[in-house]
């Protein structure tokens, strides 16, 4: 099953642009002019990519494991996981020990397609654009 429209997944390009705009908005120099904190931007983008890679490689993971590894707040973490489950990118086959924090998620073929397409797009940008 090939995913054609990834907007519901917070399209990574849009996500990167949003991070850029957030950094511009939140950082000002002494004159009040906006500037970009390139280190923070790089860390944020790399963190998102590492999270996607972790999910792709792990295939099955606990919400707690993902949140702790990437320091994701519960609220936004569960929101994203819920969206991905609703869009059938992830499955929620069972609860770990019955608590919300230990819900076990499993990737679907749609997640595999998403991640592989993302990697191709990134490589195309880096190598050819």
The low-confidence residues of the chain, meaning pLDDT below 70, are 1-36, 93-101, 129
Q: Which of the four CATH numbers 3.50.50.60, 1.10.10.10, 2.40.40.20, 1.20.120.420 does domain 7-127 have?
A: 1.10.10.10
State the residue for tokens 């397409």: 117
E strand intervals along the chain: 60-62, 90-95, 103-107
Determine the pLDDT at residue 90: 95
Determine the pLDDT at residue 108: 96
Determine the pLDDT at residue 5: 46
- Cα–Cα distances (Å) from 111 to 3, 6, 77, 93, 98, in that order, read 9, 10, 17, 15, 25
Cβ neighbour number for residue 111 with a 10 Å cutoff: 23
What stretch of H or E contains 126? helix 109-127
Query: Whole-angstrom Cα distance, residue 71 to residue 28?
Result: 25
Residue 103 sits at φ, ψ, to 5 deg, of: -65, 130
Determine the pLDDT at residue 30: 47
Q: CA-CA-CA-CA torsion for 60, 122, 113, 54, nearest 10 degrees? A: 0
- Domain residue limits, the chain: 7-127
Determine the pLDDT at residue 35: 58
Say if residues 108 and 91 touch (Cβ distance below 8 Å): yes
Determine the pLDDT at residue 8: 45
Q: Are strands 90-95 and 103-107 parallel, antiparallel or unpaired?
A: antiparallel
Query: Whole-angstrom Cα distance, residue 113 to residue 3?
Result: 7
Per-residue pLDDT of 77-102, as tens digits, reads 889 999 999 999 999 866 655 566 67
């Amino acid at each position: 099953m090939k995913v054609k429209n990834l907007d519901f997944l917070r399209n990574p390009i849009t996500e990167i642009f949003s991070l850029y705009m957030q950094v511009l908005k939140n950082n000002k120099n002494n004159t009040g002019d906006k500037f970009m904190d390139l280190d923070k931007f790089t860390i944020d983008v790399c963190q998102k990519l590492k999270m996607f890679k972790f999910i792709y490689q792990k295939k099955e993971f606990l919400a707690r494991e993902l949140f702790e590894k990437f320091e994701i707040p519960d609220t936004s973490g569960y929101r994203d996981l819920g969206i991905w489950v609703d869009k059938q990118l992830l499955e929620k086959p069972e609860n770990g020990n019955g608590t919300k924090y230990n819900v076990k998620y499993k990737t679907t073929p749609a997640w595999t397609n998403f991640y592989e397409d993302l990697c191709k797009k990134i490589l195309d940008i880096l190598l050819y654009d």
